[in-house]
Chain A
Amino acid sequence: MKQESPVDPYGYLRPKKKFPNVWCAGCGIGIVLGAIIRAVDRIGWDRDDVAMVSGIGCSGRMPVYVDFNTMHTTHGRALAFATGLKLARPEMHVIVVMGDGDALAIGGNHFIHAARRNIGLTAIIINNAIYGMTGGQYSPTTPENMVTTTDPYGHIEPPFPVPALAEAAGASFVARSTVYHARELDHLIELALAKKGFSVVEAVSYCHTTFGRLNRLGGAVEMMRRLKDDAIPVERAKGMPPEQLEGKIVRGVFVDRDTPEFTERYQKVIAMAQAQAKGGA
Chain B
Amino acid sequence: MTVRLMQGNLACVEGALAAGCRFYAGYPITPSSEVAERLSRRLPELGGKFIQMEDEIASIAAVIGASVGGLKAMTATSGPGFSLMQENIGYAAMAEIPCVIVNVQRTGPSTGLPTSPAQGDMMQARWGTHGDHPIIALTPSSVREAFDLTVKAFNLSELYRTPVLLMMDEVIGHMREKVELPAQVEVVQRPTTDVPPEWYYPYEAGGADVPPLAPFGKGFRYHITGLFHDRAGFPTERLDEIGLWIKRVNAKIERNLDHILLYQLDAVEGARTLVVAYGGTARSARHAVALARARRYKVGFVNLQTIWPFPADMLASAAQGVRAVVVPEMNLGQVALEVERVVGRHKVRRVNRADGQMIAPDEILAAIEER
Known contacts A68-B221, A74-B61, A89-B217; is-contact A84 B69 (Cβ 8 Å): yes
Shortest beta-carbon distance from A207 to chain B in Å: 21
| A-B interface, 3 closest residue pairs, ranked by CB to CB distance from nearest | A84-B65, A84-B62, A88-B69
Asked if B188 is an interface residue, CB under 8 A from chain A, the answer is no
Chosen A-B contacts, 29 in total, with CB atoms closer than 8 Å, are: A48-B219, A70-B222, A70-B224, A71-B65, A71-B216, A71-B224, A72-B223, A72-B224, A73-B64, A74-B91, A74-B226, A77-B57, A82-B65, A83-B53, A83-B61, A84-B25, A84-B61, A84-B62, A84-B65, A84-B68, A84-B73, A85-B68, A85-B216, A89-B69, A92-B217, A109-B55, A266-B44, A274-B44, A274-B45
Determine the distance from Cα of A197 to Cα of B215 in the docked complex, in whole angstroms.
Answer: 24
Task: Count contacts on B: residues with CB < 8 A to the other chain.
Answer: 45
- Give A59-89 interface residues, CB cut-off 8 Å to B: 63-64, 67-74, 77, 80-89
* Cβ-defined contact, A72 with B87, below 8 A: no
- Cα–Cα distance between A269 and B44 once the two chains are bound (Å): 7
Known: A73-B226, A84-B64. A67 touches B221 (CB 8 A): yes
Contact status of A83 and B65, CB under 8 A, knowing A74-B226, A266-B49 = yes
CB of B227 closer than 8 Å to a CB of A? yes
B63 within 8 A of A: yes
Q: What B residues does A270 contact at CB under 8 A?
A: 44, 47
Q: Is A277 an interface residue (CB 8 A)?
A: yes
CB-defined contacts of A87 to chain B, threshold 8 Å: 23, 49, 51, 62, 66
Question: A-facing mask of B198-227, CB < 8 A → 1, else 0?
Answer: 000000000000000001111111111111
A47 and B220 alpha carbons, distance in the complex (Å): 10
A17 interfacial by beta-carbon distance below 8 Å:
yes
Say how far B17's CB is from chain A's closest CB, in angstroms. 13
B23 and A88 contacting across the interface, CB-CB below 8 Å = yes
Contact of A273 with B68 at beta-carbon distance under 8 Å, contacts A67-B221, A77-B57, A85-B216 already known: no
Report Cα–Cα, A270/B53, bound state, in Å: 18
Is there contact, CB below 8 Å, between B87 and A74? yes
Q: Are B47 and A80 in contact (CB under 8 A)?
A: no
A49 near B62 with CB under 8 A, answer no
Taking CB atoms, residues of chain A closer than 8 Å to B224 are 70-72
CB of B88 within 8 A of chain A?
A: yes
